[in-house]
Structure 1
Amino acid sequence: MPQISVEYSAGLAGTFDRRGLGLAINRLTERTIDAKPESCKTVFRQSEELVVGTSGVTGDVQVFVEFQIFPGRTPEAKAALSEGVLELVARFVRPRPGSRLFTAVNIADIDRECYRNVVAVG
């Protein structure tokens, strides 16, 4: 744990180093909330369409980073992690000219009593 998901707009495909961003997020997570290196798992998912507002304007893009972590981290540590992730996204992701980049981070505590994890080795 933590499980980290990065959802990004299709308009950003091929424009940033996903592996580089993932490694940077994992390192930040280790430092900020004292996560073990091997427990940080970041997955990237491309979303096909982003609709903002009601004007019908297209071309906007989004990066949404979500963390699922075990409880026990302070609000200050979570806030520092959120701020750090916003800085990393700003460094790694550049929208194409004329588009707006919306970035958001959410950190949620998971229920330790219900969470299960299996690692299968092939």
Structure 2
Amino acid sequence: MPQITVDYSATMAPAFDRAAFAQALHTAVVDIAAAKPEACKTLFRGADGTAFGYDDPEERRHAIVHVTLGLLAGRTEETKARLTEAVLELLREHVRGDGFVLHASAEVRDLDPSYRKYEG
């Protein structure tokens, strides 16, 4: 915990400093949600195919990024909202404007009680 997934349009990859974003995000999760630094894990998934409205995807005028943070239950709604706002601010800092409109979103969800992990 936390389990962090970042889904993003692959076309924005050159403009997205993923390493710096992950480091800053992990710091925010520790500061805001009282997670342990060594527990923070982020998986980046670049999507080759994304679409926005009726625009032609080949024009690549839009990029989409969505960050999902799965935390163990017990955080207040205020804490979750502060964390999602922090995520959006970090995206503003770590994605360069590169000729596309960025559509960014984030959510914090409680991990299911069945959540288990394995390290080996």
TM (norm. structure 2) is 0.92
Match of 1:24 in 2: 24
Deviation (angstroms), 1:95:
3.4
Match of 1:83 in 2: 85
Q: Percent identity?
A: 37
Match of 1:63 in 2: 65
Match of 2:109 in 1: 108
Structure 1's 19 and 81: CA in aligned 2 closer, same or farther, altered over 3 A?
same
Query: Which residue type is aligned with residue 3 of structure 2?
Result: Q
Structure 1's 55 and 63: CA in aligned 2 closer, same or farther, altered over 3 A?
closer
CA distance in structure 2 between the aligned counterparts of 1:14 and 1:27, rounded to whole angstroms? 23
Task: Give the 3-state SS of the residue equivalent to 1:88 in structure 2.
Answer: helix
Q: Alpha carbon RMSD of aligned pairs, Å?
A: 1.2
TM (norm. structure 1) is 0.91
Deviation (angstroms), 1:48:
0.6
Give unmatched runs, 5+ long, in structure 2. none
CA distance in structure 2 between the aligned counterparts of 1:18 and 1:91, rounded to whole angstroms? 11
Give unmatched runs, 5+ long, in structure 1. none
Structure number with higher helix proportion: 2
What is the number of residues matched between the two proteins? 118
2:75 pairs with 1:73: yes
